[in-house]
Amino acid sequence: MAKKCDYKNLHKRYLIWLYKTTQEQVDTVERKFSQLEIDEMIIEQIKKFDKEKKLETYSDEFKTYIDNKKKKGLELKFDGLEVKPEFQFLVYKLAAIEVLIVKEFGEVALQEIKCAYEEEMIRRILAEREEKR
């Protein structure tokens, strides 16, 4: 029979895994919108730099890319004007997981898990860039 400490560790690992997988699913949708904000700022800066409009073809291609990303994001998150039930479920599931982490392990543990998740996502991004070179 597992010791109480071992059982609690199993709970913690499962909650961390649930947090990670659910946050990744939510991020898949939400990053489309956060990226759009940045992409729009980039295109505005490029237009300011390119006063002679020599790069207009590239700017137009980038704008098409942005428009397609927006369309995909809207399709993933919304059904008409309503948030898709499957996305709303993910948001509620993530919130429930966070409540359970706080209840079982405290607010500090939740913040540590969130920081570890963010650090891992950044590590993946940087590692991906290195591998593509």
SS (H, E, C) 26-55: HHHHHHHHHHHHHHHHHHHHHHHHCCCCCC
pLDDT tens-digit series, residues 58-85: 999 999 999 999 999 999 999 999 999 9
CA distances from 62 to 75, 94, 130 (A): 20, 33, 24
CA distances from 111 to 78, 101, 108, 122, 129 (A): 29, 10, 5, 17, 27
CA distances from 39 to 36, 61, 95 (A): 5, 12, 29
pLDDT tens-digit series, residues 80-123: 999 999 999 999 999 999 999 999 999 999 999 999 999 999 99
